[in-house]
Chains A and B, each alone.
Chain A
Amino acid sequence: MSPINTLFRRELASYFATPVAYVFIVIFLVLSGAFAFQLGGLYERGQADLKPFFDFHPWLYLFLVPAVAMRLWAEERNTGSIELLLTLPVTQAHAVIAKFLAAWAFVGIALALTFPIWMTVNYLGDPDNGVIVASYIGSLLMAGGFLAIGSAVSAATKSQVIAFIVTVVICFVLLLAGHPLVLSFAKVFLPQWLVDGVASLSFITHFASISKGVIDLRDLIFFGLLIGLFLYATSIIIDFKKAD
């Protein structure tokens, strides 16, 4: 078995070894449902789609994904197990990727467990399932982006609380970058190309374009690059902070 696979399985199992995983999944399911029905008016709209459901994902992830990511490296550093992990015959890159993938798979499991809402709209109406599949993919990619940022922040500290707060703030900025409020404000004094640049950094812009059902290569590249970049940063930060 490859080292990434072994590490991945250990990590994923460790989520479910404590109640944290179940608490997370329950909260995720309850909130995503509550937002979709109460705030989004999924039912009242009378349209067979999941737009109100997916529209709230960026905001849900803003708090829940950093909660998953915060333990990635901060906990290893705090307990000292990082020393054990990195003296096993695995490369640091393998460890960074395996831990990230495990966290991503965990969020993926939580996301997959929202399937009843998909079944519901199919039962009530005739939605465009292609759009829904694209939205799920977009949502998962966005979660991956948040997680990669959280991984890098988590590598920089022994404190999970600090990792959580800093990750939330960074993600908040990246989310807001695409918000109409911010963009219309920016338009007042920034040239259009710069406004587009700011908007193109935003998670919401890319997520919205995928969840329209169009999986554009540019959006995939955006999230792919983002994840790659922050995982690389994770590795550099680990090296840098090893001695503390």
Chain B
Amino acid sequence: MIEIKNLTKRYGDLVAVDSVSFTVSPGEVLGFLGPNGAGKSTTMKMIAGFLTPTEGSIRVCGHDVESAPLEAKRCIGYLPEGAPAYGEMTPANFLTFIARIRGLENPANRIREVVARLGLERVLDQPIDTLSKGFKRRVGIAQAILHDPRVLVLDEPTDGLDPNQKHEVRALIQGLAKDKIVVISTHILEEVHAVCSRAIIIAGGKVVADATPDELEAKSKYYQAVSLRARDLDALKEALNGVPGVSDIAIDREARVLTVFPILGKSIFGPVTQRLHERAIDVTSVELESGRLDEVFRTITQGGARS
């Protein structure tokens, strides 16, 4: 469990994190979203015990991070932003160091396991400074999961990785998640769908949304909208006028797509296709939208920034 109550971090007059409260239970993968400077990293640094909260409390696995920092740190694996490591060390030496300082029972076995899992065999004896960004990130993740922590806090684990590496890291996170708590921060919204069971959007230091990715998408005006492609979009728009349940029709001329928006809660896919049928209009594609996270994200965070 991670229990966060009224967490606040102030730097002089600047409020980086403003009275944030939430709880994460085992099995959850929590995605932490927000614009740059919204307070994501600050919150994660406080959970990991690097920064001290100005107000409020954080309990990790029942240990308060301020009054019992070592106990809390023992059950957390933390990947700081940018995956810093000691560049002059080799991954083999670095992981041995981490295993020692975390007091692992059987370090050699555990290191072998983690190295295999992250595909680090090839680079074990090269200084970390000389590794590619992808390998550096994997060394950072290896370090974080080495002691098989119950809570994993990963600050932008896929930032700067190529699509294949992103996929691998996401698969890894999903593989870990069964009985653990995973908190990741990201700006990549597709990632939220790929790995997270829950998403918290933070803007201006405040939690502005806390829901499953599906619920967030349902807030999109694109949710349940129908997108159509046809040769003559204006004629199509004309034809679709007056379909029941439709609130608006928009044409994106660049993308050559016409989108029909429903009145909130109405399903318009049936009526729209029926109208196409009746009028015998040819379209090249029809698509039911599932909602766009990036649009929800923009609406919520920009609204949050104004308040």
Contacts and interface: CB of A to CB of B under 8 A. Distances in A.
A12 to B, nearest CB: 12
B50 interface: yes
Contacts of A83: 45, 48, 50, 80, 84
A80 B128 CA distance: 14
B101 A84 contact: no
Given A88-B73, A91-B70, A14 B143 contact: no
A87 B51 contact: no
Interface in B72-130: 73-74, 76, 78, 80-82, 84-89, 93, 97-98, 100-103, 127
Nearest to B75: A89
A106 B38 CA distance: 43
Given A89-B70, A90-B101, A243-B51, A84 B88 contact: no
Contact of B101 (A3, A13, A18, A242): A3
Interface residues of A, number: 23
A80 B93 CA distance: 19
A1 interface: yes
Contacts of B76: 87
A242 B51 contact: yes
Nearest to A5: B100
Given A6-B101, A10-B97, A88-B101, A79 B87 contact: yes
A143 interface: no
Contacts of B73: 87-89
Contact of B49 (A79, A80, A87, A239): A87
B89 A14 contact: yes
Contacts of B50: 83, 86-87, 242
Interface of A: 1, 3, 6-7, 10, 13-14, 17-18, 79-81, 83-84, 86-91, 239, 242-243
Given A7-B101, A79-B87, 16 more contacts: A3-B101, A10-B86, A10-B97, A17-B127, A18-B88, A83-B84, A84-B84, A84-B85, A87-B48, A87-B80, A88-B101, A89-B70, A89-B74, A89-B101, A90-B101, A243-B51
